[in-house]
Homo-oligomer: A and B are copies of this chain.
Amino acid sequence: MEVTRTNFKESLSDVYSAIEEADFLAIDGEFSGISDGPSVSALTNGLDTPEERYVKLKKHSMDFLLFQFGLCTFKYDQEKSKYITKPFNFYVFPKPFSRTSPDIKFICQSSSIDFLACQGFDFNKVFGHGIPYLNQEQEVQLREQTEERRNQHANGLGTPLHQQSCRKGRKPFSSNKETLDLEPCSGFQRKLIYQTLSWKFPKGLHVETMETEKKERFIQVSKVDEEERKRREQQKLEREQEELNDAVGFSRVIHAIPNL
């Protein structure tokens, strides 16, 4: 089964259950290069243990990119006395998920790229539809950032305020409109507006950052009763959680493989 960004989410439960029921797994990878130092034949020799070989190759391949991750699960069927195999072919690419996300730089080796091209490897599929992923450190960092943002919003009460933001936020609903879109503004300004609104209107308002088609960010303020406000907060939390899962992306498959 071929898995790209397009069908990743819908395939995930199949992948999880295949891993869970498997007796053993086989993995394989296609990389953007093999060695950034000596050639593989100069680096290793036939007397190396598998571990020695692995350590040597790993040392000279950390700046290359994994383009494709092949996973095949094997489950023994007692009745038929044969293995049931489920192969998955994941196209992966660290597409930056937001303006502040890490912009990965990776090395390519012409001979490796040429080899893959000669085998008919589809680079457009990798770069255009590869599943994004985060390494452990990046994932922890993103979870902390999300958590921090939530706490800032929750603790907005009583925080010192910038006067201008305060004036802007004073009377958001002079008309009868239920929703008010403020002008696009910077992240710093948005933070001040959040603080001001939660201080001046601790109840009855739902405040959220939206994006225009031009990717400019603005604040949308909605007049809501307590029930509706909670419902929206819950929706927002779920959306944030889903964005976080999307960013973690392919790493969710790795997490699902036990003892890796």
Residues of chain A touching chain B, judged by Cβ–Cβ distance below 8 Å, are 32-33, 36, 65, 93-96, 103-111, 113-114, 116-118, 122-124, 126-128
Contact = CB atoms under 8 A, between A and B. Distances in A.
14 contacts: A32-B108, A33-B105, A36-B105, A93-B114, A95-B110, A105-B107, A106-B108, A107-B107, A108-B108, A117-B124, A117-B127, A118-B128, A122-B124, A123-B126
Contacts of A117: 124, 127-128
Nearest to A102: B110
Given A95-B110, A123-B123, 19 more contacts: A33-B105, A93-B110, A93-B113, A93-B114, A94-B110, A95-B114, A96-B111, A103-B110, A105-B107, A105-B109, A106-B110, A107-B107, A108-B108, A116-B127, A117-B127, A117-B128, A122-B124, A123-B127, A124-B124
A108 B107 CA distance: 6
A104 to B, nearest CB: 4
Given A117-B128, A123-B127, A124-B117, A104 B96 contact: no
Contacts of A104: 109-110
Identify the 9 closest CB pairs spanning chains A and B, nearest first: A123-B123, A117-B127, A117-B128, A104-B110, A103-B111, A95-B114, A94-B110, A113-B127, A96-B111
Nearest to A114: B95
A65 B110 CA distance: 10
Contacts of A36: 105
Given A36-B105, A105-B36, A117-B128, A110 B123 contact: no
A68 to B, nearest CB: 14
A125 to B, nearest CB: 9
A240 B128 CA distance: 40
Contacts of A94: 110
A114 B96 CA distance: 8
A126 B94 CA distance: 20
Given A123-B127, A124-B122, A124-B124, A109 B114 contact: no
Contacts of A109: 103-105
A215 B250 CA distance: 39
Contacts of A32: 108
A124 B107 CA distance: 18
